[in-house]
Structure formats: structure tokens, C-alpha cells
Amino acid sequence: MPVLGRVHLSSAHKPTGNTLHVGMTTVPTELRIVRRDDGTGYFLLYCDKSGDELTDTWHATLEDALHQAEFEFTVRPEEWEIL
């Protein structure tokens, strides 16, 4: 799946606690947005410092994925690195 954008989480992006990811014990250091290969939505990937995926969430639209990142980590849309 092609990566559309990513953002490195800094100390300004503390988890808000608005979402609980069961079983995820590591706080991600990077978020990535990828489009599904079949074009049916987007994944917001939560990655550790090695770039390994910790978990993901599925979203119907790119805007929904961006909103989730803001909801969970206060990531503003302009902070994303578009690839």
C-alpha cells in the first residue's frame, strides 16, 4: 500500500487518551496514512521508532484519517509530510 503521508510525533503530540488501542503498550513515534490497494479507504498506521507498525485504524476517507490523528495526538493537517 502506498504511503501518502507521515508525521513524526514530538513532545507536542502527547496521546490525548481519546482512543484506547487494546494490547498496544508502546506509544507510537510516527503516524502514516496509506490508501488500501483496492481503493476502499485508508489506514492510519501507528509506528514505533524502528518504523514497525504497532496497530492501525481504518477510515473511509483521507479526511477521516487526518481527523483521527488530530483527535488522538493533536496533529494538525499542516504538520503532515506529504509523500
Residue 44 amino acid letter: L
pLDDT per residue as tens digits for the range 41-80:
999 999 999 999 999 999 999 999 999 999 999 999 999 9
Q: Which residues pair with 8 in a beta bridge?
A: 30
pLDDT value, residue 69: 97
- Tell me the domain boundaries of the chain: 3-82
- pTM recorded for the entire structure: 0.92
Residue 39 has pLDDT above 90, yes or no: no
What is the helix (H) or strand (E) element at residue 70, kind and residue range?
helix 62-73
The 3-state secondary structure of 7-71 reads EECCCCCCCCCCCCCCCCCCCCCEEEEEECCCCCCEEEEEECCCCCEEEEEEECCHHHHHHHHHH
Residue 26 — very low, low, confident or very high, per pLDDT cuts 50/70/90? confident
